[in-house]
Amino acid sequence: MLRRGTAAGLVALSMFAVAPARAHEADPATFEPEAAIRYSQSAIGRQVGDHAFRDAGSRRVTLAAFRGKPLVVNLVYTSCAESCPLIVQTLARAVEVAQDALGPESFNIVTIGFDVDADDPTRMQAFARRQGADLPNWRFLSTDQETVERLTADLGFIYAPTPRGFDHLAQTSVLDTEGRVFRQIYGADFAPPALVEPLKALALGDPGRLASFGGLIERIRLFCTFYDPTRDSYRLDYSIVIGIVIGGLSLSGIGFVVLRGWLNLRKHSAGPTAS
């Protein structure tokens, strides 16, 4: 399981430097969390393939179905007794805050089981219920071993079998609207801004939000949305925009006075014209 309080709180896995794409087959006795983080970070900017999964109703779902909105992805195994439940419970709290701040339809979330022998649709659904992850646009998915290998390689996610189950990177990935890895979030217990801020950055960087007046207003609202640690939630604070507007008006007024003085000075310097 994941050990908290040190770098090992982010990862508990085997050495994978020789063959990172097949890290799940490595020896858990050789543990290098720093190498795992480097491997995970190397996935940023990578296009994630259009992998196929089964949802709670055994319906086929592909990652392409989530394009057009940011996608939050995390991987678990349902028989985990410690780290995976904590990761999903932490993510659930962060998703609640993010949906409140950004809107429940602004992004999607998927949790994928990587223990393919056990993590079938029924167990994934039961796992979701136990962790209280009953939130809009969050789906728990199953797949086969080949897809898990390709997906984990795309995401830079590391896991390794142990006598107790699996050691694995405590990682949540944020994908952009085109399905590229935008940000990695580490740890089994993280504060909501770790999730909300990259989602905000994607929303603010979306040129489509400037296509209408309503989009511009929404962009301003997002710009003025800040995390309040005393409330453990986001709130609107328009003081920055108001300050910018007041400052702009003040500079405009000063500029007008300077321009008017300069024009008057030129007029007087030119003197009377000859008749």
Tens of pLDDT, residue by residue over 171-200, are 999 999 999 999 999 999 999 999 999 998
Whether the predicted pLDDT of 213 surpasses 70: no
- pLDDT value of position 162: 86
The ranges assigned to domains in the chain are: 7-234, 238-270
- pLDDT value of position 71: 98
Please give the residue that has the higher pLDDT: either 233 or 29.
Answer: 233
pTM for the predicted model, two decimal places: 0.73
7-234: CATH architecture: 3-Layer(aba) Sandwich (3.40)
- pLDDT value of position 164: 86
User: What is the arithmetic mean of pLDDT over 210-224?
Assistant: 51
Average pLDDT, the chain: 79
pLDDT bracket for residue 223 (50, 70, 90): low
User: What is the arithmetic mean of pLDDT over 42-63?
Assistant: 96
pLDDT bracket for residue 22 (50, 70, 90): very low
Which tens digit of pLDDT belongs to each residue from 111-138?
999 999 999 999 999 999 999 998 999 9
Q: In this structure, is the dihedral angle defined by the CA atoms of residues 15, 16, 18 and 24, taken in order, positive or negative?
A: positive
